[in-house]
Structure 1
Amino acid sequence: MDDRDFLARLFTAAVKAADPLTGIRRHLPAPPKNGRTVVIGAGKGAAQMAAALESVWDGPLSGVVVTRYGYGCKTRSVEVLEASHPVPDTAGLAGARRLVETISNLSENDLVIALICGGGSALLPSPPAGLTLEDEIAMNEMLLASGAPISAMNVVRKHLSTIKGGRLAAATKARVVSLIVSDIPGDNPAFVASGPTVPDATTRHDALAVLEQYRLSLPDAMIAHLNSAAAEAPKPGDAVFAQHTHFVIGSAGVSLEAAAELARAEGVTPYIISDSVEGESRQVALVLAAISREIAQRDRPFPKPAVVMSGGETTVTIRAKGGKGGRNSEFALAFALAIDGYPISALAADTDGIDGSGVNAGAFADGTTARRLRAAGFDGRKLLDANDSFSAFDAIGDLFSTGPTGTNVNDFRAVLVR
């Protein structure tokens, strides 16, 4: 059995389990008796979710979803708009306005089906009055470089928006059913895409605390807004949400179980550490490398052969300008340096098919990675310090590329010890 082929097939099984069609079919709402059904949505898998809904919906549909450039797909009646991710642009600003316009004149007799998945925060810029798209871009760039976990970033985002934090759902009189593919550790639906249709209990004071904790200096106009009552989002008990429902139809936990089932079928015992790992990518890599070395040397805490899997979303603190690579390739490079010479293989990849802003989903790493880098004239430690993990794996042909997968349940990590 080829180790890389085995790891890649585990990834494929995980992605297949996150196919939105399965969850949409299971949670399909009944059509309204005397009203219209309108679809809205946002995220890197929003177009595929819309196509899946169209394939099982019996009756007329209309609406619009916003996805990342290059992530669109053919749909029959739901319009697909594309915008920038992870840094917002004017197309996203126009897309956010279209979503509000699409549902703002609906009545209590109508039904809105909201298709929400990871990536929606950046794809739906909608700064409050007095703030600009440039302010929101600056905020996103700071958050992405800060090392803050996604849940903390989204607390800030939803209090500096007119669409996030449940505000999109609050813009209509229609009943809203949200179908959500979670990319958030712990699967809190209010944090997926910063919860445009699902409110949560965090406050503007929580957002200010995140800025203080991660020493972020946002534009003065944004700080002034967070210090005003206008920043508060509607809370879960608000009457506007009384007829609304939401369902998490895909998650990292389900995907990891599917990968584990495949591993068992091929004679390798799977061990799922967690589906909600957070923390600095390189530090998470050191922990999993230590566990893997222990398995390789002493058959503990798990006997060989074993595949140790985890999900969640790690973060990268940008330490140098000019480097290229996402959180999964950074994990893989730090992991490779820590298992140099050991009979261990690993794959770290983002289930949406794109790691950070690159063209790869992630990277393979094994006990020969560091040696092969040295042979090619590269210093793996210097590349890691420069946040240039993409260049490391590109140089030795170890990038893992899948293209857009049509779903997003965040990181997938699998470590194989023979």
Structure 2
Amino acid sequence: MTSFQENGDREFLLSRLPEFLQACHAKSYLRKHLKAFSGRQVGLIALGKAAPDMMQVAVAYLGCSHGGIMVARKGEEKYIDGIQSLGASHPIPDQSSMEAAKAICSYLQHLPQGLPVVFLLSGGASSMACLPVDGMSLLEKAALSRQLMHQGANIHELNVVRRAYSQFKGGGMLGHAQGPVHSFVLSDVPGDDPAIIGSGPSWPGDGDNPLPVLQKFSIPAPKVQAKKTTKSTWEHQYKIVATPINMLAAVEKSLRANDWSICNLGDCEEGSPRDMAARHLNILQQQPSSNMAILSGGEAASMVLGDGIGGPNREYVLEIMLEAKRRSLPGSLTAFAIDTDGVDGGNDVAGAVLCLHECNHQDWEDKAKMALSQSDSGRFLDGLEASIRTGPTGTNLNDLRILLWRP
């Protein structure tokens, strides 16, 4: 009966996945915030993983009398009449990322004096638009990001360093504006800090100190001067139009409608997949004896330990099952975890869904631990037919994790 229930819960979650992703889309939130610009002349810029969808909404509502520029992840560009569409690298910047940053700055510089700009920002922008400070090469900047990621730096730590050595981030983009800039933002970071989302190209910085982060991970400081305080001569306004909280609320509503009790941990969950899994099972076991769903957003960060294929959401699913078996957790358990942009880690797999009964065959624990030790959760879960592939989702509200438990 347990395996039957778990299989049903797995199929239930997969069937609801389009609904969950729909709750993340810009078109669900953006239009009402653009009303103030209806009928006005504006410049248009969209940057990040949700750039195509955000730009489509803006052009449909505002037009593009002064053209516009849109930077999306390579391979996810869309044609929109009147808009320059560029693809740039993620999660490590390359030449396309530098060209994208320069193209945005050039577009701003050539707009009429005083013209308002609508800037549409979403996660992934930190890598897609890269303009290192003087004296630092693109290769050096990319290597610095790669080192931090591989050592498990969280998004706050990573983006403090990215901003400090960028002419574009930390409000640097504003220095090229010829008029007021109005930012409308999809948040993909725990806590929704404007300085962290996309490393804050339209959020003036106070002069970031990257040294504590670099020292924490034993990374030598670059031999260049970090960027100082950024100032803008034009008005700038900043509005977060959607956060992972909106997504979690929609998921919670859907699960409640299907008779699940809910424990919603919010959108600020951070840590390693292993620590997060242990914490979530502690919470699960403290819940009343009823069919329980544990929801969480935020972002897990994992160290790269080998040359395997995987990502933090897939590692989380494996860590949940290993910890559940260690505790001899009774009943049925299904673990689901995805990155809502459709990319968990560096390859095009969104995440995974796995049931506890699928982990009972001989040597499963040893093989799972071996996969984790080599950062190879992806291949291991592919072998279990547990991987989730959504393709590009057109949005990014960070991670979504769901545990379904029937005691």
Do the structures match in fold with TM over 0.5?
Answer: yes
Unaligned runs of 5+ in 1: 295-299
Give 1:78's aligned residue: 83
Q: Does 1:395 align with 2:388?
A: no
| TM-score using structure 2 length | 0.92
Q: Distance in 2 between matches of 1:239 and 1:135?
A: 28
Q: Does 1:354 align with 2:343?
A: yes
Deviation (angstroms), 1:118:
0.6
Give 1:404's aligned residue: 392
Flag the 1:150–1:373 CA change in 2: closer, same or farther, 3 A: farther
Instruction: Return 2-11 or 361-370, whichever deviates more.
Output: 2-11
Q: How does 1:7-22 map to 2 (within 5 A)?
A: 7-22=13-28
Deviation (angstroms), 1:351:
0.5
The answer to whether the Cα contact below 8 Å between 1:40 and 1:115 also exists between their aligned partners in 2 is yes
Residue among 139, 147, 166 paired with 1:142: 147
Q: Does 1:183 align with 2:188?
A: yes
Q: How does 1:327-366 map to 2 (within 5 A)?
A: 327-340=312-325, 342=329, 343-366=332-355
Give 1:251's aligned residue: 243
The answer to whether the Cα contact below 8 Å between 2:174 and 2:232 also exists between their aligned partners in 1 is no
Counterpart secondary structure, 1:77 = coil
- State the AA in 1 paired with 2:287: P
Give 2:224's aligned residue: 224
Give per-residue Cα distances to partners, 1:344-387, cap 9 Å, x unaligned: 00101001111011121001122124335836x97111111111
Q: How does 1:88-167 map to 2 (within 5 A)?
A: 88-167=93-172
Q: Among all aligned residue pairs of Structure 1 and Structure 2, give the percentage whose two residues are the same amino acid.
A: 29
Give 2:303's aligned residue: 317
Flag the 1:269–1:200 CA change in 2: closer, same or farther, 3 A: farther
Counterpart secondary structure, 1:41 = strand
- State the AA in 1 paired with 2:397: V
Give 2:367's aligned residue: 379
Flag the 1:129–1:37 CA change in 2: closer, same or farther, 3 A: same
Instruction: Return 177-186 or 123-132, whichever deviates more.
Output: 123-132
Give 2:292's aligned residue: 306
- State the AA in 2 paired with 1:314: A
Flag the 1:80–1:267 CA change in 2: closer, same or farther, 3 A: same
- State the AA in 2 paired with 1:240: T
- State the AA in 1 paired with 2:246: V
Deviation (angstroms), 1:16:
1.3
Unaligned runs of 5+ in 2: none
| TM-score using structure 1 length | 0.89
The answer to whether the Cα contact below 8 Å between 2:184 and 2:239 also exists between their aligned partners in 1 is yes
Flag the 1:149–1:364 CA change in 2: closer, same or farther, 3 A: same
Residue among 272, 277, 287 paired with 1:285: 277
The answer to whether the Cα contact below 8 Å between 2:306 and 2:376 also exists between their aligned partners in 1 is no
The answer to whether the Cα contact below 8 Å between 2:187 and 2:197 also exists between their aligned partners in 1 is yes
The answer to whether the Cα contact below 8 Å between 1:346 and 1:413 also exists between their aligned partners in 2 is yes
Give 1:297's aligned residue: none
Deviation (angstroms), 1:32:
8.8
- State the AA in 1 paired with 2:129: L
Give 2:217's aligned residue: 214
Flag the 1:59–1:137 CA change in 2: closer, same or farther, 3 A: closer
Flag the 1:369–1:336 CA change in 2: closer, same or farther, 3 A: farther
Counterpart secondary structure, 2:141 = helix
Q: Distance in 1 between matches of 2:42 and 2:386?
A: 46
Q: Distance in 2 between matches of 1:29 and 1:173?
A: 22
Runs of 4+ in 1 over 6 A off after TM superposition: none
Give 2:401's aligned residue: 413
Give per-residue Cα distances to partners, 1:32-79, cap 9 Å, x unaligned: 98x842111221111121112122225625111211112222322222
